[in-house]
Amino acid sequence: ETGVTQSPTHLIKTRGQQVTLRCSSQSGHNTVSWYQQALGQGPQFIFQYYREEENGRGNFPPRFSGLQFPNYSSELNVNALELDDSALYLCASSLAGGSVKNIQYFGAGTRLSVL
């Protein structure tokens, strides 16, 4: 069974740039959620994708956007980067439906530094 994989592992950008982070979900999972984890904090929910549509969103501005592809992989896009966007971005996959519904399995994250 393949776990959740994220790429790249590290990224350095400058303020105002745009970034795309990628996530491959665990085999058999159809739902992907993205979280932002600032240093020393718990992860904060950005949004979730199910059947290629956004299916819930946290308190993040529209410059945070995403996609889910037919193979359930996903992208997180952030436009007009700000210094406060520096964080670990975590992707989690899960299976909608069934007894194991609602358990989210996480990747190792992408650490984004905005200079």
Residues that bind other proteins (CB under 8 A): 31, 33, 35, 40-45, 48, 50-51, 55-56, 58, 88, 90, 92, 96-97, 101-109, 111
State the nearest-atom distance from the C-beta of 63 to other proteins, in Å: 19
Helix (H) or strand (E) holding 65: strand 64-68
Comparison of 17 and 102: residue with beta carbon closer to other proteins: 102
Comparison of 16 and 28: residue with beta carbon closer to other proteins: 28
Comparison of 15 and 76: residue with beta carbon closer to other proteins: 76
Question: Dihedrals φ, ψ of 81, to 5°?
Answer: -55, 140
User: Any idea what DSSP says for residue 37?
Assistant: E
Cβ burial, residue 14 (10 Å; 0-12/13-18/19+):
exposed
